Chain A
Amino acid sequence: MFDNFPLWPERASTAAGNVDALFIFLLIVSGLMTLLIFTALVYFAARYRHRRGVLAEQIEGSTPLELTWSVIPFFVFMAIFAWGAAVYFKGRTPPRDSTEVYVVAKQWMWKLEHAEGQREINELHVPVGRDVKLIMTSQDVIHSFFVPAFRMKQDVVPGRYTVAWFHATKAGTYHLFCAEYCGTQHSGMIGSIVVMEPSQFEAWMNGGTTGPLSVSGEKIFAELGCVTCHRGDAQGRGPNLQGIFGKPVQLENGRTVTADENYIRESILDPGAKIVSGFKPVMPTFQGLVSEEQLNALVAYVKSLSHSLATPTGTAAATAQDNSKAPGSAPGSQVQ
């Protein structure tokens, strides 16, 4: 009747060990505190039960004791806080040269697109031993990308990008859950993360693709006419996008922002929000004209313009995929 009965989740990422260590520490600390309080309760309850003729002794209280049991827990709590913060900080900061996967959530499925162009639904193939950064957004309501075996969870919010990352350590297939309630089929918005040995992963990757995401982005960039203003020289009506990604941008109002994924996204959908110094607010909005997938491709393209300058072999610009294969030869659940 019952397939199996685990009491501890699988550990398949570098973060999992960190979270488990702190969790076990907390189990010990709270176990000791429970033991202390329960022992005292049971002992007092038995030792000082009512006996005829024996009166309770009236005790005012004790400031030194009160301070002791305020200050000691406080320091214990601060230690837990610091440890928890360290684990969180590591889990929230993707390493610089992570492989990137774009995630679009919608009621009730996960659409995933590798920077190299492979698309998947409700399934994500990744290799063991590589940092994978997820750049996620939602087409409708809030969802949450949750992989228990990686001890990783991040809400996926419409109208912005949120970021998560992991480094898988063990080949296997792991649950992917939506952890933020999102409507009727919330519990059906599940999938799997397939962690493969690097060689198998390479074979899977070469099994059919429409080309890197940045290349699709470049096409869209041309089709939408972006290229007429955002030219590769200083003559365009819009800023030259070569090399801007990850760099500070001076705005018309004197502020400076970093050109990250959210900034590029906003500049496409709401161009008037942040005008670059020296330019006029002439760009029309593309809200409603580009899908989330096209936006991701555009962002990937703009990023690739920086990678090709700074690091010619950078991740997003990792081209050289086999484009000649006919669409349709894709394995598994890849989507054309």
Chain B
Amino acid sequence: MATTTIQPVERENYLNKEYGVGSWLFTTDHKRIALLYLISITFFFFIGGFFALLIRLELLTPASDLVQPDTYNKLFTMHGMVMVFFFLIPSIPAVLGNFLVPMMIGAKDLAFPRINLLSWYLYIIGGVMMLHCMLTGGVDTGWTFYTPFSTAFSNTKVVEAGLAIFVAGFSSILTGLNFVVTIHRMRAPGMTWSRLPLFIWAHYATSIIQILGTPVIAITLVLVVAERTLHLGIFDPKLGGDPLLFQHLFWFYSHPAVYIMILPSMGVVTEIIACFARKRIFGYSFVAFSSIAIAVFGFLVWAHHMFVAGISIYAALVFSILSYAVAVPSAVKVFNWTATLYKGSIHYDAPMLYAFGFIGLFTMGGLTGLFLAALGIDVHVTDTYFVIAHFHYIMVGGALMGYLGGLHFWWPKISGRLYPEGWARLAALIVFLGFNLTFFPQFVLGYLGMPRRYADYSHMPEFQVLNVLSTAGATVLGVGYLLPMLYFLWSMRYGKPAPDNPWKAAGLEWMTSSPPTTFNFEQEPIVTWEAYNYDELDTGHKQEVKVVG
């Protein structure tokens, strides 16, 4: 469906308005900042991916032969830190959110353009600190920084890593703050809350978590640094501290952080499904409020990471039941996406393939979450590969599939070029198959009892077959991730110029030119329609809307 007119002369847009390094480094245009983020997080993604590849290669054989155990411990630590704090958390909000939130609500820019630029600089400062930490020896605490190992025993660069994440955290807070204010104050006339695209609702919910949760991890890391350098007794029992206090504080942020990763992805998938099924979203308000419910309940489940840590049985019961409560709105979303397909007119372009992949993998990730929330089962599978598989299904199978789907969907708008559709469909397929081959065997490994963070399993050769499968999958997955980077780069030069609305999609961002001009709209749009008015787009007039059931 991607062919219409091609502009003979390139119009002025946000990309060609100014040239030169300065015009990028001092820009306050949300779209340019989005591209700065895109480049920086892609860089960190491939660093984190490289660590993952080394981890998988080490685990190909039971013995610790490719790298020393100390090196292996640093690899999984830095893989986690880079992927969580420098890729997944900024990914969709800082790239697609930055680019699209103002456009989708009909605004010229975010509410605080300079704070937006500041957030990118904070991210870069944090990122450079992290790189410095990695290049001067690295850190081996696991991304979870558990005390008292991190504060009193590890002799690696814990302070540097902690401070890097501390700084990068402020970038996340500022992005969230900017989104909340923008969504409240800068909607175009007629863009009521019930007409907002669900992408915006998802980002609104995400922003709440970023603003309320991130300061807690920041404070916690400061306390770790303080205990490590000044020997204040906070977490180390030898100094009169409590190691479980650290876990409570850490997970108070780090569980909601999973929703920072997955909610924006849900928003992306919602837009894609509506567009390629040519339909309004089934149960708009349920999908919108389920995002808010996830954000709120997400703050009340943190101790489900601690069922064997030594918390009381009664605390465990409360956190188990609340974890099931947060599963309900997630399930509601999956049902609504599925129902949206009913009586649609479905196209299978690459973004839709990613969206299908997202639903499948997120469903499996979510369902295995039910296993982990069941107290009796968690005792056996926590801290094993079962957990690793589960959260990769959510954070890679879910969040990353959504990110890639969104990148394909909005690439014509972002770059003004079309990506090669055939290659993109192939990549989506490779990613889906490679992902399952990598992570499905890990569920089995986990139930068999293979603990996570093991450099060496030579006393347990029975684990090897599944590890070989997983490593094979990881190489396939690696190819799947390299492909989009290559053809996106290719398309920037050789891709066909994109029309303004190649997918005939609903949404204000598609009513601008591709790429948009610096202030997005020639004149402020006035919104008189609901989101996902695909009937009007496809027929030119409003259809009768049915209510079933």
A-side interface residues toward B, CB under 8 Å? Answer: 1-9, 18-19, 22-23, 26, 29-30, 33-34, 37-38, 40-41, 44-45, 48-51, 54-66, 69-70, 73-74, 77-78, 80-81, 83-93, 107, 140-142, 144, 146, 148-149, 151-155, 157-160, 162, 175, 177-188, 190
CB pair B345 A51 closer than 8 Å: yes
Tell whether, in the assembled complex, residue B373 and residue A81 are in contact, meaning their CB atoms are under 8 Å apart. yes
* Alpha-carbon gap, A268 to B449, bound state (A): 37
**How many angstroms between the C-alpha atoms of A40 and B283 in the bound complex?**
17
A44 and B338 contacting across the interface, CB-CB below 8 Å: yes
Instruction: List chain B residues, Cβ under 8 A from A26.
Output: 370-371, 374, 377
Give the complex CA separation of A155 and B451 in angstroms.
13
Task: Say what secondary structure dominates the interface of chain B.
Answer: helix
Segment among B167-175, B190-198, B295-303, B315-323 that sits at the interface with chain A? B315-323
Between-chain CB contacts (< 8 Å), 27 pairs: A2-B465, A6-B462, A7-B444, A30-B370, A49-B348, A55-B345, A55-B538, A59-B546, A59-B547, A62-B548, A65-B549, A70-B328, A80-B370, A81-B321, A140-B148, A144-B308, A146-B383, A148-B449, A151-B380, A153-B379, A158-B243, A175-B449, A179-B452, A181-B142, A183-B73, A186-B73, A187-B453
Nearest A residue (CB) for B241: A159
Check B343 for interface membership: any CB of A closer than 8 A: yes
Residue in A51, A56, A74 whose Cβ sees the most chain B Cβ within 10 Å: A56
Of B153, B327, B464, B465, the residue contacting A183 (CB under 8 A) is: B153
Of residues 444 through 465 on chain B, the ones whose CB sits less than 8 Å from some CB of chain A are: 444, 447-449, 451-457, 459-462, 464-465
Inter-chain contact B451/A177, CB cutoff 8 Å: yes
- Shortest Cβ distance from A263 into chain B, in angstroms? 15
- B465–A5 CB distance below 8 A: yes
- How many interface residues does chain B have, given as a range? 35 or more
Asked if A89 meets B313 with Cβ closer than 8 Å, knowing A54-B345, A56-B538, A70-B328, the reply is yes
Contact of A188 (CB < 8 Å), options: B152, B153, B456? B456
Q: Is B429 an interface residue (CB 8 A)?
A: no
A140 lies within 8 A of B153 (CB): yes
Taking CB as reference atom, which chain B residue is nearest A162? Answer: B310
CB-defined interface of B339-365 with A at 8 Å, one 1/0 digit per residue? Answer: 101111111100000001001100110
A59 pairs with B280, CB closer than 8 A: yes
Stretch at the interface among B126-134, B249-257, B329-337, B416-424: B329-337
Question: Is the pair A59, B282 in contact by a Cβ cutoff of 8 Å?
Answer: yes
* In the complex, chain B residues whose CB is within 8 Å of the CB of A6: 448, 462
Cβ-closest 7 pairs across A and B: A159-B237, A87-B376, A148-B449, A84-B374, A88-B375, A62-B549, A61-B283
Chain B, residue nearest A190 (CB): B459
Instruction: Tell me if B486 counts as interface (CB < 8 A to partner A).
Output: no
**Residue on A nearest B146 in the bound complex, by CB:** A142
A229–B321 alpha-carbon span in the complex (Å): 48
Contact across chains for B308 and A153 when beta carbons are under 8 A apart = yes
Decide yes or no whether B409 CB sits under 8 A from chain A.
no
For A93, the chain B residues whose CB sits under 8 A away are: 313
A19, B377: Cβ atoms under 8 Å?
yes
* B331 and A85 contact, CB distance less than 8 A: no
**Complex-state Cα separation, A6 to B465, whole angstroms:** 9
**A69/B146 in contact, CB under 8 A:** no
Known pairs A58-B535, A153-B308, A178-B451; A37 contacts B363 (CB<8 A): yes
Q: With a CB–CB cut-off of 8 A, which chain B residues contact A59?
A: 279-280, 282, 339, 342-343, 545-548
Smallest Cβ-Cβ distance to A45: which chain B residue: B346
**16 additional contacts (CB under 8 A) given A56-B279, A183-B154:** A7-B444, A19-B380, A41-B360, A44-B344, A48-B345, A55-B539, A56-B534, A59-B546, A69-B335, A73-B331, A80-B374, A81-B324, A141-B152, A142-B309, A158-B238, A177-B449
B286 at the interface (CB under 8 A from A): yes
Chain B residue with the shortest CB-CB distance to A144: B383
B367 interface residue (CB < 8 Å to A): yes
The reply to whether A81 and B320 form a contact with Cβ atoms under 8 Å apart is yes
A residues in contact with B384, CB < 8 Å: 179
Supposing A81-B320, A84-B377, A142-B243 touch, asked if A180 and B313 sit within 8 A by C-beta, the answer is: no
Residues on A with beta carbons closer than 8 Å to the beta carbon of B113: none
Which residues of the partner chain A approach B367 to less than 8 Å between Cβ atoms?
Answer: 30, 33-34
Residue in A69, A84, A181 whose beta carbon sits within 8 Å of that of B320 in the complex: A84
A7 and B449 CA atoms in complex are apart in Å by 11
Residue B140, interface by CB 8 Å = yes
Do B382 and A141 touch across chains, with their CB atoms under 8 A apart? no
Structural contact, A64 and B309, CB atoms closer than 8 A: no
A56 adjacent to B343 (CB under 8 Å):
yes
The answer on a CB contact under 8 Å between B339 and A65 is yes
Q: Which residues of A have CB within 8 Å of B317?
A: 85
Q: A69–B376 contact, CB under 8 A?
A: no
Cβ of B293 to closest chain A Cβ, rounded Å: 10
Q: Contact check: which of A56, A146, A177, A181 meets B345 at CB < 8 Å?
A: A56
Contact A155 B380 (CB under 8 A): no
Query: Measured between C-beta atoms, what is the minimum distance from A217 to chain B in Å?
Result: 22
Q: A77-B327, A148-B448, A179-B383 are in contact. Are A57 and B546 (CB under 8 A)?
A: yes
Query: Is B70 in the interface zone, CB < 8 Å from A?
Result: yes
A237 to B449, CA, bound (A): 51
Residue of chain A at shortest CB distance from B468: A2
Known: A9-B449, A69-B335, A187-B64. A41 touches B341 (CB 8 A): yes
Are A183 and B149 in touch, CB under 8 angstroms? yes
Residues of A within 8 A of B364 (CB): 34
B410 beta carbon closer than 8 Å to chain A: no
B284 within 8 A of A: yes
> Complex formed: what's the CA distance from A154 to B238 in Å?
21
| Chain B residue at smallest Cβ distance from A156 | B310
By beta carbon, the residue of chain A nearest B276 is: A50
**Beta-carbon contact of B148 and A158 below 8 Å:** yes
Chain A residues with Cβ below 8 Å from B10 are none
Across the interface, do B359 and A41 meet the contact criterion of CB distance under 8 Å? Answer: yes
Complex CA gap A220/B235 in Å reads 30
* Chain A contacts for B478, CB-based, 8 A: none
Q: Which residues of B contact A37 (CB under 8 A)?
A: 334-335, 338, 359, 363
Closest to B449 in A: A148
Indicate if B543 sits at the interface (CB-CB under 8 A): yes
Contacts A45-B346, A61-B284; is A3 near B331 (CB within 8 Å)? no
Closest to A41 in B: B338
Residues on B with C-beta less than 8 A from A85 are 317, 320, 375-376
Among residues of A, the one whose C-beta sits closest to the C-beta of B73 is A184
Q: Contacts A45-B346, A142-B243, A153-B380 given: A87-B375 contact, CB under 8 Å?
A: yes
A168 to B412, CA, bound (A): 63
Report yes or no: A48 in contact with B447, Cβ–Cβ below 8 A.
no
Q: Given A19-B379, A22-B374, are A186 and B454 also a contact pair (CB < 8 Å)?
A: yes
Are B332 and A66 within 8 A (Cβ)? yes
| Cβ–Cβ contact A148 & B380, under 8 A | yes
Contact A84–B238 (Cβ < 8 Å):
no
Instruction: State whether the Cβ of B45 lies closer than 8 Å to any Cβ in chain A.
Output: no
Chain A min CB distance to B14 (Å): 33
Which residues of B have CB within 8 Å of A63?
A: 549
Most chain A beta carbons < 10 A, residue from B140, B286, B348 = B286
Q: How far is the CA of A22 from the CA of B377 in the complex (A)?
A: 7
Given A6-B448, A41-B360, A157-B244, also A61-B69 (CB < 8 A): no
B203, CB-defined interface residue at 8 Å: no
The CA-CA distance from A4 to B109 in the complex, in Å, is 60
